[in-house]
A and B are shown apart, each in its own frame.
Chain A
Amino acid sequence: MRSRGGRYPLRVLALGYLGAVLLVPVGAVIWRAFGDGVAPVWQAITTPDALHAFWLSLLIAAIAVPLNTLFGVACAVVLVRHRFPGRRLLDAVIDLPFAISPVVIGLALILVYGQAGWMGGWLAERGIQVIFSLPGMVMATVFVSLPYVVREVAPVLREVGTEQEEAAWTLGASPLRSFLQVTLPAIRWGVAYGVVLTTARALGEFGAVTIVSGRLAGQTETLTLYVENRFEAFDLTGAYAASLTLAVLALLVLLAMTRLQRKEGH
């Protein structure tokens, strides 16, 4: 047992660290944004470019998150339940987006899908533009937020085991029905947690999307790119206001996450 006396310094250290690197800077953003009152903030986040950036960020997340959820659950099932040569390799490859810098991911996408890329030319002939448009930005976001669902679901799936599924089989349920009605509910909090993390990552993505988007204001500019754009143009109110929007979105995601955690504890 740790002595009670040792607890307080540890708590102060942990909270102080959080405060210095997280709470104070985020608080400062909110403080600065409202430095001249609410009106300029509202104005800044309702300009056509800001609104477009906001919806574009949501649109990309709305495509990338379901894709990664489907892929992530399927991939977790394969990793946990199947035995095949190359399984360990697949297991390692899934973590690649954690290890590689988003900027490198962006460049790699250009290498393959850019005008001069391996597939870019072929696609361009058929009128499909990947780089400097939505498909490329979605791909970049999918890439960087790929591991979250797999990594949240796989351990839960392992813990749940196969017995419930087997019980469902002997009761006449098809493998698909058993998965949907027995396994999926058993792993639902893992999936939900993975979705929340994926969403947060997708909304906040900057590096890879910067490279593949071309950063055309009002066209391929997401909210994070818009913040930087405003910052570089010395429009500090605009930058802080857009940051505030991002922070609010992140806060909503976090709130969803704590609610899930509370349910899980039930």
Chain B
Amino acid sequence: MSILVRHATRRFGNFTALDDVSVEIPSGSLTALLGPSGSGKSTLLRVIAGLERPDAGTVEIDGRDATGLPPQRRGVGFVFQHYAAFKHMTVRENVAFGLKVARRPKAEIRARVEELLELVQLPGLAERYPSQLSGGQRQRMALARSLAVQPSVLLLDEPFGALDARVRKELRAWLRHLHDEVHVTTVFVTHDQEEAMEVADRIVVMNHGQVEQVGGPRDLYEHPENAFVMGFVGPVTRLGELFIRPHDVELRLEPNGTTSEAMVERLVHLGFEVRADLVLHDGQRLQAQLSREEAEALELHQGQIVFVRPSRTRQFAS
């Protein structure tokens, strides 16, 4: 179900967490709210859920004005960074909670809980308590709990933020997979551009309580509308007014009239790729990214003098 936020503003004392934000989230999409901490992304998610009231603006869920509705009546599932597991209840009781509130028949609850535990790959753990689960398992339980009531919208607030790197990577792929299976409109908050790029099909980039740009992962990377988005969705070097991605830097051993002289300060081998940290003759620094083959062909080594030319640059009106 689609979500439409119009002119939402939320202040906490002197701090403006949301500054006249309007955003549309299409039905069935998997959208990331991406931004640095304090950018207002979590507040926007909480406003959609009804856990936070906007000072101004409206929220529409599935074409229905939800601005005045309490979270109980919005049909949203919410997953918290720190799981918010009901610690005194078993996994089964946690997942069944929403169904019990909705007074579903016992047999149906039982069947639905089994089905959901299967879906989140926790079968056989129904009688455990959250304290007996790993972080990744707890988060999957929380997800099953939120999906139990068949929400029209699933909202996740930094869902993998408290997990270690390996589990985080696993769960990302798994969330993408789950969305392809369940198709519920999903919005998740993250400050990790790689996570947003990998999982989402649409990304809303936020900064200082405002939306900077909305688009697909490739779109944002290839056509950033401003310096902030350019810098936030990928590595970038700035030379004066010009913004250059490391893979858009050309390296040669001989000057050709359009190149500038630079010294290789450091070489970093990242498996398939090699990153060269360069210092230009005027002292400015530049990063270049090459494939291993390219680096070998040039016989790059530390301290070497090379000639560089950006093959592609961008400039933004300030």
Closest residue of chain B to A171, judged by CB? B98
A51 on the B face (CB < 8 A): no
A173–B88 CB distance below 8 A: no
- Among B74, B82, B84, B102, the one with the most A-chain Cβ atoms within 10 Å of its Cβ is B84
Q: Is the CB of B72 within 8 A of A174?
A: yes
Question: Chain A interface: which size bin?
Answer: 10 to 19
Instruction: Please determine whether B88 and A170 come into contact, CB atoms closer than 8 angstroms.
Output: no
Which residues of chain A come closer than 8 Å to B188, judged between CB atoms? none
Q: Are A169 and B86 in contact (CB under 8 A)?
A: no
User: Which residue on chain A has the smallest CB distance to residue B93?
Assistant: A181
- Return chain A residues, CB-CB under 8 Å to B88: 185-186, 188
A163 CA / B85 CA spacing, docked (Å): 9
Residues of B within 8 A of A170 (CB): 49-51, 71-72, 74, 76-78, 146, 151
The reply to whether B70 and A167 form a contact with Cβ atoms under 8 Å apart is no
Interface residue? A107 (CB, 8 A): no
- Say yes or no: is B41 at the interface (Cβ < 8 Å to chain A): no
Please determine whether A173 and B97 come into contact, CB atoms closer than 8 angstroms. Answer: yes
Q: Verify if B47 is at the interface (C-beta below 8 Å from A).
A: no
Question: Given A163-B80, A186-B88, A171–B149 Cβ distance below 8 Å?
Answer: yes
Interface string of B55-81 (1 = CB under 8 A from A): 000000000000000111010111010
Distance of A179 from chain B, by nearest CB (Å):
13
A172: B residues at CB distance < 8 A: 72, 98, 101-102, 149
Interchain CB contact under 8 A, A168 and B97? yes
Given A172-B101, A173-B72, also A166-B149 (CB < 8 A): no
A185 contacts which chain B residues (CB < 8 A)? 86, 88
Tell me the total A-B contact number using a CB cutoff of 8 A. 61
Also in contact, A167 and B80, with CB within 8 A (given A172-B149, A173-B97, A182-B86)? yes
Measured CA separation A141–B72 after assembly (Å):
41
Task: Assess whether B72 is in contact with A167, with CB atoms less than 8 Å apart.
Answer: no
Q: Does B166 contact A (CB under 8 A)?
A: no
Q: Mark A150-174, 1 if CB is under 8 A from B, else 0.
A: 0000000000000110111111111
Given contacts A172-B149, A173-B72, A186-B88, contact A167 B78 (CB under 8 A): yes
B145 CB-CB contact with A under 8 Å? yes
| Smallest CB gap from A167: residue in B | B84
CA distance A171 to B151 in the complex (A): 9
Are A166 and B86 in contact (CB-based, < 8 A)? no
Give the CA-CA distance A200 to B307 in the complex, in Å: 84
SS class, residues of chain A in contact with chain B:
helix
B281 within 8 A of A: no
Q: Return chain B residues, CB-CB under 8 Å to A87.
A: none
Q: How far, in whole Å, are A168 and B78 apart by their CA atoms in the complex?
A: 10
A242 to B148, alpha carbons, bound, how many Å?
59
A171 touches B87 (CB 8 A): no
Q: Which of A163, A177, A188 contacts B84 (CB 8 A)?
A: A163
With A164-B84, A166-B71, A186-B87 as known contacts, state yes or no: A171 contacts B51, CB within 8 Å.
no
A167 to B78, CA, bound (A): 7
Distance in angstroms between the alpha carbons of A167 and B102 in the assembled complex: 15
Return B98 CB to nearest CB of chain A, in Å.
4
Residues on A with beta carbons closer than 8 Å to the beta carbon of B74: 170
Instruction: Provide the residues of chain B in CB contact with A182, threshold 8 Å.
Output: 86
Residue of B nearest to A163 (CB): B84
* CB proximity to B under 8 Å, residues A166-225: 166-174, 177, 182, 185-186, 188
Counting chain A CB atoms within 10 Å of each CB, which of B49, B80, B148 scores highest? B80
Closest residue on chain B to residue A165 by CB atoms: B84
Least CB separation from A266: chain B residue: B131
Beta-carbon nearest neighbor of B151 in chain A: A170
A169-B97 in contact (CB<8A)? no
- Minimum CB–CB distance from B88 to chain A (whole Å) comes to 4
Closest-CB distance, A47 to chain B (whole angstroms): 47
A169–B146 CA distance with the chains assembled, in angstroms: 11
B51 contacts A169, CB within 8 Å? yes
Residues of B within 8 A of A177 (CB): 101
Which residues of chain B from 76 to 111 have a CB within 8 Å of any chain A CB? 76-78, 80, 82, 84-88, 97-98, 101-102
In the complex, what's the smallest C-beta–C-beta distance from A203 to chain B, in angstroms? 30
- Whether B71 contacts A169 by the Cβ 8 Å rule is yes
Distance to closest chain B CB from A189 (angstroms): 10
Where the two chains meet, the residues of B that have a C-beta atom closer than 8 Å to any C-beta of A are 49-51, 70-72, 74, 76-78, 80, 82, 84-88, 97-98, 101-102, 142, 145-146, 148-149, 151
- 19 inter-chain pairs at a CB distance below 8 angstroms, sorted by A residue, are A163-B84, A164-B85, A164-B86, A166-B51, A166-B71, A167-B80, A168-B86, A168-B97, A169-B51, A169-B71, A170-B72, A170-B77, A170-B78, A172-B149, A173-B72, A182-B86, A186-B86, A186-B87, A186-B88
For the complex of A and B, 3 pairs with smallest distance between CB atoms: A171-B98, A163-B84, A167-B84
Given contacts A163-B80, A164-B87, A170-B77, 6 further A-B contacts (CB under 8 A): A167-B86, A167-B142, A169-B72, A170-B51, A170-B78, A170-B146
Residues on A close to B: CB < 8 A?
Answer: 163-164, 166-174, 177, 182, 185-186, 188
